[in-house]
Chains A and B, each alone.
Chain A
């Protein structure tokens, strides 16, 4: 018996020593993040860094400073978890960070004012949108170099890839068309006009060019059969069939829809309509509006969790909640007064939302079940957005 106890104690010591050695070993190798799914990435616009917050402890475990006057806009992790990338809007550069070591491994000059970005599903290509340069920079993630700049867009805001990675779709906020890019050749091969522009814009396009609220994103439906593109000025959602790259249906929604957000179960999608402070819930089976509900001003995002939709009203300090089963309002959560809410991501368990709040430099964690809010301060200056690997709600303004 005594021998058994002694043996257990020895075994315990050996195990502890092994674990300690492993931890020291990892640290010695400079490993700061062993599991890329364990962190929330926070893009801090004014402190010019990307902060990494542990999902379990809500502690900042590291941050990567990008340089002075960079103003990173959106952060994203490659699907293989190897790199974290961001576009520096003021620096006109793309930044590539090694996830494990949190080392800035490459800075690549791109076009003017890089903002939103996307990865091809195989992590091979990183498409960086440059709204002021009217172009997309193609970055090869094997050589970590820019191989091409695709011109011909008009304020390209967001890029989405087909699940097979063959084509990419670019929303042009300064126009009413979606650009189709052949990913093999990295060339703009087609412009899909979402609808006819109003006659008045046709008469004097230069007068109305600055006022165009065009297409923010062409979002694939969860089954990948269609893409949905909301046009702000026209107040419609165009349904695109990617087999022929044609608009097969128009859905009229509220005034000035910001963009479309897909529900996780594939039943509904939502457009926040900033023109009339409503949301339109679209039934993806029938491609028609199932409900139009009141919302708040200046909506910047929609997240889905626990059978609810959470709509961020950036300037009111409220997050509006909707029951996605009954398609009815389910109250609103007061996040604070005189604050500016930015965008949020949802964890993969679909239990919590991580919302960036730029006024007080904090991240607000919303429990999707109870609507309780936890505040994590001092995350960096002017947190602009958040990102979690594999989240279904990774987006930016």
Chain B
């Protein structure tokens, strides 16, 4: 048993050289082959990103596949911050870039942390600009929760009408943002997009899409997975 095991290595010096040569050759071959193979798998996984993936009607139903039109629509950004104060007046810090979109008398939703399912309506009474940090003063329209001086504030800011897609349509792959665009019936092509303002439900598209195109929202992740699995 020992002899058999040693057999391959238990040779003379000439044999040792030739053995070493054979080992190096084998190692080189295996590395080369592995590299080629690995490249092949990666290529297969990455595939041709521009080719569409086809989804059957049954799959679409299973995935509850939903399409939404790329169109110009109002984008809302919900500014969330922590407000503190006494009585009905609360103060909160906000980013100066958010302050630009907050208007006096604007509606604010206030939630005491201890009463998470109760919402108190408030209004913006003042916006105090500042370098690096701005402040917003809000007033609850009715007396707040007794004994509570802290509130989570939600301020819905309007960023205007912009060409946009639902947030759910966007897939982040590395530093790229991709959406799946409907081509012919049942086929979807990935397309890289450049994004602008990110709202609560919709995100502005600066580049990569045109108004009227249909993008996949609910189910885009599954299509992406399918696209990669098929190696398209």
Category for how many chain A residues contact B:
20 to 34
By the criterion CB–CB under 8 Å, are B109 and A390 in contact? yes
Contact with B along A159-195 (1 / 0, CB 8 A): 0001100000000000000000000001000000000
Given A80-B156, A348-B141, verify A140-B217 contact (CB < 8 Å). Answer: yes
- CB within 8 A of A266: which of B74, B78, B115, B119? B115
Give the distance in Å from the alpha carbon of A320 to the alpha carbon of B10 in the complex. Answer: 104
A152 within 8 A of B: no
A145 within 8 A of B: yes
CB-CB under 8 A from A220, the residues of chain B are: 117
Interface residues of B in 67-92 (CB under 8 A from A): 67-68, 74, 76, 78
A147 within 8 A of B: yes
| Interface window among A10-18, A221-229, A308-316 | A221-229
Interface residues of B in 168-225 (CB under 8 A from A): 168, 200-202, 217-218
Contact with B along A246-287 (1 / 0, CB 8 A): 000000000000000000111000000000000000000000
A32 within 8 A of B: no
Give the distance in Å from the alpha carbon of A220 to the alpha carbon of B115 in the complex. Answer: 10
By the criterion CB–CB under 8 Å, are B156 and A143 in contact? no
Q: Is the interface of A mostly helix, strand, loop or mixed?
A: loop
B30 within 8 A of A: no
* CB-based nearest A residue for B107: A37
A124 within 8 A of B: yes
* CB-based nearest A residue for B166: A142
Give the distance in Å from the alpha carbon of A122 to the alpha carbon of B107 in the complex. Answer: 16
By the criterion CB–CB under 8 Å, are B166 and A223 in contact? no
With A80-B156, A82-B76 known, 9 other A-B pairs at CB within 8 A are A140-B218, A142-B166, A142-B217, A143-B166, A147-B218, A222-B115, A223-B114, A223-B115, A223-B116
The 5 A-B residue pairs with the shortest CB-CB distance, nearest first, are A142-B166, A224-B116, A222-B118, A143-B68, A348-B121
Q: Which B positions have Cβ atoms within 8 angstroms of A?
A: 64, 66-68, 74, 76, 78, 107, 109, 111, 114-119, 121, 141-142, 145-146, 156, 166-168, 200-202, 217-218
Can you name 29 A-B pairs with beta carbons within 8 Å? A36-B107, A37-B107, A80-B78, A80-B201, A82-B74, A82-B76, A122-B200, A122-B201, A123-B200, A140-B217, A141-B201, A142-B66, A142-B202, A143-B217, A147-B218, A148-B64, A186-B64, A220-B117, A222-B115, A222-B117, A222-B118, A223-B117, A224-B115, A264-B118, A265-B146, A266-B118, A349-B141, A390-B107, A390-B119
